[in-house]
Amino acid sequence: MTYFVDIFSVETYESFSKTTKTIAGFHSKRKAWLTKIKTGDKILCYVKGLSCWVGILEVNGPLQEVTLGNESIPGYNLEFPVTPAVWLEKGTLLPIKRAEVWAALSFTKHVTPGAGGWNAGLRSSGVRMLEHDGNAVEALLKDQLQRRIPDEITEENWDKHQSLKITTSQGETVAVQIPSPEDDFEPTAKFALAPATSVIIGEAPAVRTSHKMQARLAEIGIAMGFQVWIPQADKDAVSSEMNSSELMDALPYAQFSEPTLKTVEQIDVLWLQNKTIVRAFEVEHTTAVYSGILRMADLLALQPNFHTKLHIVAPEERRKKVFQELMRPAFSIFPQGPLSKLCTYLSYEGVQELAENPNLEFLKAEVLEKFEELAEEQE
């Protein structure tokens, strides 16, 4: 008897959980690996993204190639008949980073938690596990089945790792994922923002510079008469830097597909008028200068008829990097045109200067043209 690994996504885990679990389906590209699996072997099931062990399937017969593939997981046409020895329900999965699990496996026990590289063998189905590791995972899964210790995976984290479906212009249905904002590393900036409110050292955690810039953009938009959207994850921090708290609680876009809505909701600042997005801003204060640009690109890809003015806001020292990223070949093929022509750069200094203008209420959004720069205009 030998142990092998089957890698699940959140979707395939949910789908397989609804079946009788008597057929394990695999992609045809894994055939060379699957031919090593024999009757009597055990398949240890692992959900990527969530980094959890979820079950043990005992192989009852030889590999079969079928025409239609496993109905529970469309497109997978290689199958093994199996018996589920263990299958954990949502809420009681077995995280590999749980202390006793981490310490039991040869490829994790000598790795400092948080370090990378340990999961190289947990990226593809059909990979053989060392007998010692297989025995350890089997024992831990059986113990978890009895004890049912909560896995502490939040609904937010669960949803974060789910793929969404979109239909391309060619009529093909594909899976996409909308990344959630992460806690970015924020280097020391050369440009300091004037505080909008008094801050007492030690009274509250320091507000990130990017949040302060979001607050400036929000206050400019409100002063000009726009409704302003800030992502829910940033809203409290941004509000603490504002003299006004007139921020939107929800976006009026029930007609958007779920991937589009999730993308729009994560954009750093939106100005709206009569339910129409007038301006969209992404504040880039990280060394990568990339996450916000990708969100803009995602939005254009998901909404071919989207023609809102887009802006990347960044410190002056990141100006050149912004232009380099906007002009990537991958961002030049949208139906609306290349991203380098659709999205402009605004400096922190320019936004701060505009925020200090005493006549904001008499100005229109077009005043941003005085401060914006296009990539194609650069030498």
SS3 state at 173: strand
Is residue 186 in a domain? Answer: no
Q: Are residues 233 and 372 in the same domain?
A: yes
For residue 202, is it within any domain?
no
**One domain, residues 127 and 72:** yes
Q: What is the pLDDT of residues 266-301, one digit of tens each?
A: 999 999 998 889 999 999 876 567 788 888 888 888
Q: What is the CATH number of the domain that holds 40?
A: 3.10.590.10
pLDDT digits (tens, 9 = 90+) for 153-197: 999 888 877 766 656 555 655 555 555 554 443 443 344 444 443
Confidence check: pLDDT of 245 > 80: no
Q: Are residues 150 and 60 in the same domain?
A: yes
Which of 74-83, 110-119, 266-275 is the most confident on average?
266-275
DSSP-derived 3-state class of residue 368: helix
Residue closest to 298 by CA, chosen among 252, 263, 253, 349: 263
| 353 and 306 Cβ atoms separated by less than 8 Å | no
Range of the domain at 25: 3-162
184 lies in a domain?
no
Answer yes or no: do 145 and 264 share one domain.
no
3 state SS of 197: coil
Count of domains for the chain = 2
Q: What is the pLDDT of residues 205-225, one digit of tens each?
A: 345 788 999 999 999 999 999
196 HSE (CA, 13 A, CB side): 24
Domain final residue, candidates 134, 162, 190: 162
Q: What is the DSSP string of 64-113?
A: EE-SS--TTSTT--EEEEEEEEEEPPTT--EETTSHHHHTTSTTTTTSPT
> Which of 85-94, 195-204, 251-260, 304-313 ranks highest by mean pLDDT?
85-94
Q: Rounded distance, CA 179 to CA 275, Å?
A: 25
Residue 190 near residue 317 (C-beta atoms within 8 A): yes
Pair (227, 154) in one structural domain: no
Q: Are residues 221 and 140 in the same domain?
A: no
pLDDT of residue 341: 87
* 133 and 216 share one domain: no
* Local structure of 219: helix, strand or coil: helix
Mean of all residue pLDDT scores within the chain: 83
Q: 115 and 246: one domain? A: no
Q: What's this model's pTM, rounded to 2 decimal places?
A: 0.56
What is the predicted pLDDT for the residue at 31? 85
| Domain annotation covers residue 190 | no
172 lies in a domain? no
273 and 373 part of one domain: yes
Asked whether residue 122 falls in the same domain as residue 40, the answer is yes
With vertex at residue 163, the alpha carbon angle to CA 162 and CA 164, rounded to the nearest 5 degrees, is 120
Both 230 and 101 in one domain: the answer is no
